[in-house]
Each structure stands twice: as C-alpha cells, then as structure tokens.
Amino acid sequence: MLLAPLNAVAGAAVHFQVTDLNGVATEVPSGLPQGRALLLLGFRHNDHTALDAWRDGLGLSSRDSDWFEVPVIGVGNPMIRGVILRGMRNGVTATADRARFAPAFADAAAIALQLGIDPSEPAAVVIDRTGRVLAHASGAFEPGKAAALMQVLRH
C-alpha cells in the first residue's frame, strides 16, 4: 500500500499499448486523451474485484475520459486473446463503458517495472503524456489514497 507523490517515482518513461473493448488502440502515454490519466491496473484474474472498488470509490464513470481500467494479460496466442476479449465484451456491453476498459496483452512484470509497482497487487497510477508516473497507490482501495490520486490527476 504505497502512494508515491509527484516526482517520487524514478525511472524510464512508460510505454505500452492498450486496446479498448471497442477495438480502439491507444499508445500509453502519447495517445492518452488528456494531459494526465489514471490507469487502474490488475495483473491477476481476481484483481477485478479490487479494481471495481477503486473505480466505484473514485466515482469514475464512462463519461470521464481521463482514466482506463487496464487488466494486464500475458497471453501471446491470438486465438486465446480472442476468447478472452469475447468474454470481456460479453461482460461489458455499453459502448461508453467499453471505451474505458482497455486490456493490455503484454508482459505484466515489464509493465509493472516501467510503472514502479508490484504486479502482485492491483494498482492505481497517474501518468502524464510524457510517460512520467506522477503518483501511484497499490493494494485495496482506501479513501485517503484515492483523494491524493485524484488531486494529482485533476491538478
């Protein structure tokens, strides 16, 4: 359970690609729709409950364009990816909601390393368009951590 304030996370700039459930690809960070974005990241199948708690606790809605829920899935086989995506699309049916749900089929450890987080826990990360991690919190939702993240995101 860590909240890293502005400029506390050092390292190389973040760079990976996500594709939302509508099929729209976004390069992180350069393709982010806002100057800053919140990424809710899960690295294990059972992280979805914690990510739901973060999304609900932060009051995020599909109308907000400054966040993505990013399950990181280390599957390389295109057929298996297709099955996973169909299952996700069946669970997330509204077009606006699908635009906020953007899985990354990538190496979880590599993404976690770029972000300065531990892939054994879900995380909420604020980044800017240059790829700098501005703040992050790991673990279960906590109102104090959420307030600090939102302050950085909306600053």
Portion of the chain with pLDDT greater than 70, in percent: 92
What type of residue is 42?
G
Domains assigned to the chain: 3-153 (3.40.30.10)
> Is residue 14 within 8 Å of residue 114, measured between CB atoms?
yes
**119 in Cβ contact with 109 (< 8 Å):** yes
Question: What digits encode the pLDDT tens for the residues 23-56?
Answer: 999 999 999 988 999 999 999 989 999 999 999 9
Side chain identity at 78, as an amino acid letter? P
Confidence of residue 6 (pLDDT cuts 50, 70, 90): very low
Round the average pLDDT of the chain to a whole number and report it. 88
Could you give the strand order of the β-sheet that contains 123-128, starting from the edge strand earlier in sequence?
3-4, 133-138, 123-128, 36-42, 67-73, 104-105
Mean pLDDT, residues 115-141 taken together? 95
